[in-house]
């Protein structure tokens, strides 16, 4: 079997002699290599032979059941390069391989060593030098994985062993096989969302949380931000945009609690972080976790009732007080209004009705004093506010405070009119001067059976319609 290279040189598999011979295109012998055996460069009945475009020769080593590759000069792999020991990793995991020469050089042999991608891996040395003394000693190259912030998956790169430099022509320009390496990615696209700093409240208390990306994007990443219930809380921004420069910087979202007038207890709601929009496919459509928030209620059921503006009186003086609800009801709230003593005072309305629209508007109750003709002094009475009726369970049956009122009495007692022109000593009874006076009743007597004669001592007498008081008793309490 034979093969011809691009220069016309002829390579012959000399099967019976277990060797390869090379001739020029004119049949001139150039070189030969090989012997019987199974070591590298040895053959057992080689038969097939081919030459590639670069001049490398491939031999079908039939008896050894293998194919061997040689340079055009018959040199078998001038360099022995091991496989890489393992994958590198972005966390800094290292891998190694070794290089040695296949035969002793006549002079130093130097190999350049470089990484095809310094963003994925670096090498421990930039060159290897072999001498005629250490040519068969393995020299180790350590490859270290390099970290990035991209979610780019495992990345393949190559440790390039360049063409050798040497004055030994068997090695000079010989190019050993490069070493393939894979750097494992330790990045995963995603979001870091902090917990909410606390509750919001209806009095405007705010809370915050932060968001950042886990990896550097290749393009801007925008996240929409919204509240699930804008009656409970609102957000400070409607969107967060991260770039390849600020991707790992926390961006803060401030949540502000909103007030309502309803006794609805603490209300849970959610700040929704929507799916991201980006030309970076590792982030586009990725949905960060939403943030749960609680808005604390500051409303309470009840009534605000003002003090009475003053006293009423029997001459018709009015007094007022006001009533309103403390929180918005879900339905009308009715309070019946009455006086516990209608002989002393009356309320201007039999009931108060509050709706979800006017619950916080003061309603005025006017109390009017009622007159009587009895000297009964100032009288206390009460305006009664009955328990509320409503389909709102918070208010139904809730009993507002009653209002105390005093009605001022305007009735006078007996008026005594003394006739100082009466004869005095000219009219004497039992040696006493006699004066005449009349009684005027400002109101009905407390007792209808009152008899003036019975309420005076024996020093007084009744003369017709006049009460005669002896002068000696004048000025005394009778």
What pLDDT was estimated at residue 221?
98
pTM for the complete prediction? 0.58
Please state the φ and ψ torsions of residue 186, each to the nearest 5 degrees.
-115, 15
Least confident of 146-155, 209-218, 254-263: 146-155
- Average the pLDDT over 295-303 and give the result: 94
Interatomic CA distance for residues 43 and 302, integer angstroms: 107
pLDDT in tens, 69-86: 887 888 777 888 999 999
What average pLDDT does the chain have? 88
pLDDT in tens, 102-134: 889 999 999 999 999 999 999 999 999 999 999
Cβ count near 191 (within 10 Å): 20
Kindly report the length of the chain: 478
What pLDDT was estimated at residue 429?
61
Closest CA to 146 of 181, 122, 182, 115: 122
What is each CA distance from 13 to 33, 45, 49, in whole angstroms?
A: 10, 9, 7
pLDDT in tens, 428-448: 666 666 656 555 555 554 444
């Amino acid at each position: 079997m034979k093969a011809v290279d691009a220069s016309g040189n002829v390579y012959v598999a000399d099967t019976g002699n277990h060797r390869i011979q090379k001739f020029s295109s004119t049949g001139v012998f150039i070189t030969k290599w090989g012997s019987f055996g199974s070591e590298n460069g040895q053959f057992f009945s080689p038969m097939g032979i081919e030459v590639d475009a670069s001049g490398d020769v491939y031999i079908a080593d039939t008896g050894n059941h293998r194919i061997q590759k040689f340079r055009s000069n018959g040199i078998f792999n001038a360099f022995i390069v091991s496989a890489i020991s393992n994958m590198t990793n972005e966390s800094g995991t290292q891998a190694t391989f070794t290089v040695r020469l296949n035969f002793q050089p006549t002079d130093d042999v130097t190999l350049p060593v470089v990484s095809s991608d310094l963003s994925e891996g670096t090498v421990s040395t930039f060159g290897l030098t072999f001498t005629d003394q250490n040519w068969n000693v393995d020299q180790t190259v350590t490859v270290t994985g390099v970290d990035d912030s991209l979610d780019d998956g495992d990345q393949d790169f190559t440790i390039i062993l360049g063409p050798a430099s040497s004055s030994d022509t068997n090695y000079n320009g010989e190019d050993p096989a490069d070493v393939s390496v894979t750097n494992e990615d330790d990045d995963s696209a995603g979001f870091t969302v902090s917990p909410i700093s606390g509750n919001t409240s209806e009095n405007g208390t705010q809370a915050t949380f932060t968001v950042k990306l886990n990896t550097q994007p290749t393009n801007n990443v925008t996240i929409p931000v919204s509240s699930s219930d804008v009656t409970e809380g609102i957000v400070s921004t409607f969107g967060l945009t991260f770039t390849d420069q600020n991707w790992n910087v926390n961006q803060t979202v401030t949540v502000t609690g909103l007030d309502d007038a309803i006794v609805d207890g603490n209300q849970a709601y959610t700040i929704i972080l929507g799916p991201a929009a980006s030309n970076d496919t590792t982030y586009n459509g990725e949905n960060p976790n939403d943030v749960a928030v609680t808005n604390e209620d500051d409303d309470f059921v009840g009534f605000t009732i003002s003090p009475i503006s003053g006293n009423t009186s029997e001459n018709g003086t009015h007094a007022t007080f006001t009533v309103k609800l403390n929180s918005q009801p879900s339905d009308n709230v009715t309070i019946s209004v009455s006086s516990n003593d209608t002989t002393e005072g009356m309320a201007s309305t039999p009931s108060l009705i509050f709706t979800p629209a006017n619950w916080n508007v003061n309603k005025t109750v006017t109390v009017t004093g009622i007159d009587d003709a009895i000297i009964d002094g100032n009288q206390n009475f009460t305006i009664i506010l009955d328990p509320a009726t409503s389909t709102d369970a918070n208010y139904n049956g809730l009993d507002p405070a009653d209002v105390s009122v005093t009605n001022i009495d305007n009735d006078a007692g007996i008026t005594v009119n003394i006739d100082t022109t009466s004869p005095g000593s000219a009219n004497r009874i039992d040696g006493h001067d006699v004066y005449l006076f009349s009684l005027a009743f400002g109101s009905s007597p407390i007792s209808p059976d009152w008899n003036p004669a019975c309420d005076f001592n024996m020093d007084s007498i009744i003369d017709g319609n006049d009460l005669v008081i002896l002068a000696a008793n004048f000025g005394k309490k009778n």
